Amino acid sequence: MGLVFVLVQRMSTAGGEVALPPTSLGQPAGTRLLSVAAAEGRFAVLVARPDGTERLLLLDAGRGRVVGELRAAE
């Protein structure tokens, strides 16, 4: 079961809204979404997994897919 969500980014320069397509983050069931921030054409999404680890996922805003992942430790 994937975590699915829709994000809407307000673009101050364009004055409109851009919607990120529905996206599965590929994380295990029970993963919690802690924080979301826009970052240069990408979204940084902080998640807490059921095993207690946290990961920072980088999503491409144009394609709506995970393009990177940062982990503090394995």
In the three-class reduction of DSSP (H, G, I as helix; E, B as strand; rest coil), residue 51 is classed as: coil
pTM above 0.75, yes or no: no
| pLDDT the model gives residue 29 | 92
In the three-class reduction of DSSP (H, G, I as helix; E, B as strand; rest coil), residue 2 is classed as: coil
Question: Sorting pLDDT into bands at 50, 70 and 90, what band is 19?
Answer: low
Domain ranges across the chain: 4-71
Cβ proximity of 17 and 8 under 8 Å: yes
Tens of pLDDT, residue by residue over 34-57, are 998 987 888 899 999 999 999 999
Q: Which CATH architecture has domain 4-71?
A: Beta Barrel (2.40)
